[in-house]
Amino acid sequence: MEKLENSRREVQINNESQPAAVQFCYDNINGSCIKTSYSPAPRVILYLAFGSGALLAVLGNLLVMISILHFKQLHSPANFLVASLACADFLVGATVMPFSMVRSVESCWYFGESYCKFHSCFDFSFCYSSIFHLSFISIDRYIAVTDPLVYPTKFTLSVSGICVVFSWLFAITFSFSLFYIGANDDGLEELVSALTCVGGCQAAVNQTWVLIDFLLFFIPTLVMVILYCKIFLVAKEQARKIESMSSKTESSSESYKARVSKRERKAAKTLGIAVIAFLISWFPYFIESIIDAFLGFITPTHIYEILVWFGYYNSAMNPLIYAFFYPWFQRAITLIVTGKVFRGHSSTIDLFSEQAKV
């Protein structure tokens, strides 16, 4: 997320009054922002690091979406939530990270004032959409683990659809309203005016809205943490019961329940790791936002950029988590990359079978 990045840089008031060595975002334009880009070697390294993150976010999440939407075996309410989450991360990689990459390395915004505002809106929207998706996924996993046999009747396709619509609609409406109404910079007009320069992209957020932003992050996060703590307590108890029953003769219904419980616990564990990765990635940024807003935006540029990109990289992490923990995703990737998805009836391939041909 962007936030007064140019408040951490000097602003050009009169080009003629500056030393000849000073570079500007736009030469021969009065009021241009000062350009503080890196030397060639670090510049190339940063472009490679940021660019690879954006590429992984785009390609990795695209593979997740194609896998879930193409293979019928993966068509479930829970997986549709995961696909929608992947869509949010995909859009971060496609519409936010490439432009932030140039801004971070070049210290200038070259994409126009209109897209600057869109960029800020996209940034906030997709982040909050991810938070809400992860919250609903944690609720889904809690129901699946605590009551696996009746779970299919509780978390239906329509319920999943409502969760997806809410996650997107609320996040987009909130973010675009905040920036286009101008409520985000109420009380900061003098500061924003003083820091405005040609080639800058500012998204000032006042103390009130910083607190609201933090609550929109913290409350769903608290829900996720509580639910996953309960999930792992229940999973531990279930594992103990199954182990105690292993030496006894199990009925077919008990055996089926044990298998279902084991599958749901594994899914909850994997998605729990995704939640932890999200919290580690974004929590420092939100804490910094509050501190910065109440201390007059004093955070050094490089610290701010590190925290922002730490959050951005989360969009590239989920596909790696799925690839590492889900054998079905590994098989789906193989089928997609080798082009076998274009064969007839490929959508009906059994991805869960160890003997599935890929």
Range with the lowest mean pLDDT among 66-80, 260-274, 343-357? 260-274
Range 155-167 burial, b when 16+ CB lie within 10 A, else e:
beeebbeebbeeb
**Model pLDDT, residue 324:** 80
Instruction: Report CA 217 to chain centroid distance, whole Å.
Output: 12
- Whether residue 7 is predicted with pLDDT greater than 50 in this model: the reply is no
Q: What percent of the chain has pLDDT over 90?
A: 33
pLDDT (average), residues 36-52:
90
Instruction: Report CA 317 to chain centroid distance, whole Å.
Output: 9
Q: What is the tens place of the pLDDT at every residue in 102-114?
A: 999 988 889 988 8
Highest mean pLDDT among 83-87, 111-115, 141-145, 177-181 belongs to 83-87
Distances (CA, A) of 312 to 71, 108, 140, 284: 29, 19, 25, 12
pLDDT (average), residues 83-92:
95
> Rounded to an integer, what distance in angstroms lies between the CA atom of residue 322 and that of residue 345?
24
> Rounded to an integer, what distance in angstroms lies between the CA atom of residue 171 and that of residue 174?
5
Element (H, E) at 61: helix 40-70
Calculate the average pLDDT of the chain.
82
Using pLDDT thresholds of 50, 70 and 90, give the confidence band for residue 356.
very low
Range with the lowest mean pLDDT among 83-92, 117-126, 263-272, 332-341? 263-272
> Rounded to an integer, what distance in angstroms lies between the CA atom of residue 178 and that of residue 351?
44
**Model pLDDT, residue 297:** 75
- Whether residue 277 is predicted with pLDDT greater than 70 in this model: the reply is yes
Q: For tokens 């790791």, what's the residue?
A: 273
Range with the lowest mean pLDDT among 122-136, 208-222, 249-263? 249-263
| Contact assessment for residue 203 and residue 103, using Cβ atoms and an 8 Å cutoff | no
> Which carries the bigger pLDDT value, residue 328 or residue 48?
48
**Model pLDDT, residue 252:** 53
| Contact assessment for residue 232 and residue 272, using Cβ atoms and an 8 Å cutoff | yes
Range with the lowest mean pLDDT among 74-78, 271-275, 309-313? 271-275
Domains of the chain: 5-346 (1.20.1070.10)
**Model pLDDT, residue 54:** 96
Torsion sign (Cα): 59, 62, 68, 69: negative
Tokens (6 digits) for 3: 């936030």
Q: What is the tens place of the pLDDT at every residue in 237-271?
A: 766 766 666 555 555 555 555 555 566 666 677 77
